[in-house]
Amino acid sequence: MDRINCFIILIGGGSASGKSTLANLLSNYLKKIEITSLIIPIDNYYRDLSHLPIEIRAKNNFDDPSAIEYRLLIFHLLELLKGNDIEAPIYDFTTHTRLNNLQALKPAQIIIVEGLHALCYEELRNIGNLKIYVDIPDDIRVIRRILRDIKERGRSIESIVEQYINTVKPMYEKYILPSKDYADIIIDGQNIAECLHLILSHPKLKNFIENLKA
């Protein structure tokens, strides 16, 4: 495959650990030094559940890696690496469906793929240049998740707790936590801004940026 000069960063970690925050901080920094970046949230690649009744959709196991249409994600990344535009899905967590409209995305010098399952798929890890795991104590993650899901996703605290016990915690222990072993860098999710330099100083990314600026 002919690949354009592009660097892919994968950011994984538990739910509400700070993955999106890290991706945005990194993207903002790259903009300041005039390097183009693109953030791709893996959440947008959740499988569409519009064919199911709403009460059934809510009980789906969203924490199992099979809940993601990861082959579409990988196809889109490969297209971006070829220099092609893509039309990415947009996921609505309130209805557990994909929106009808797609998001047009263009290639960038650095692509940041962030999500719960970012380090879970071997095919995705194989095309990632730098793999990051955001680590944070379980109790902090749970509190953050409750606050986020109530505010942003219209969830009740009862449904959040039930989901955490039935799927979130078991899947975290089975899939997400073990994916930490694949990380090049482990970031403290409680001090993300302070840890940004660890990423920027990593030889893989540092050399890529230096070559771009040469």
Task: Name 135's bridge partners.
Answer: 188
Produce one character per residue of 73-106: b if its CB has 16 or more CB atoms within 10 Å, e if not: bbebbeebbeeeebebbebeeeebbbeeeeeebe
- pLDDT at position 105 is 98
3-class secondary structure, 47: coil
Q: Is residue 209 part of a domain?
A: no
Q: Is residue 214 part of a domain?
A: no
Residue 35: domain span: 7-198
- pLDDT at position 163 is 85
Q: Is residue 161 part of a domain?
A: yes
Q: Is residue 210 part of a domain?
A: no
CATH number, domain containing residue 11: 3.40.50.300
How far out from the chain centre does Cα 105 lie? 16
Q: ∠98-103-104 over CA atoms, to 5°? A: 150
Q: Which of 42, 170, 198 is nearest to 118 (CA)?
A: 42
Distance CA 144, CA 165 (A): 16
Distance CA 131, CA 133 (A): 7
Task: Count how many domains the chain has.
Answer: 1
| pTM exceeds 0.95 | no
- pLDDT at position 153 is 79
The angle that helices 203-213 and 192-200 make with each other, rounded to 10 degrees, is: 70
Residue 115's identity, in one-letter code, is G
- pLDDT at position 122 is 98
Q: Is residue 45 part of a domain?
A: yes
Q: Is residue 75 part of a domain?
A: yes
Q: Is residue 206 part of a domain?
A: no
- pLDDT at position 1 is 53
- pLDDT at position 161 is 85
Q: Is residue 125 part of a domain?
A: yes
**What is the chain's pLDDT, residue by residue, as a tens digit (214 residues)?**
567 799 999 999 998 899 999 999 999 999 999 999 999 999 999 999 999 998 899 889 999 999 999 999 999 999 999 999 999 999 998 899 999 999 999 999 999 999 999 999 999 999 999 999 999 998 898 888 889 888 887 788 888 888 889 998 999 999 999 999 999 999 999 999 889 999 999 999 999 999 998 8
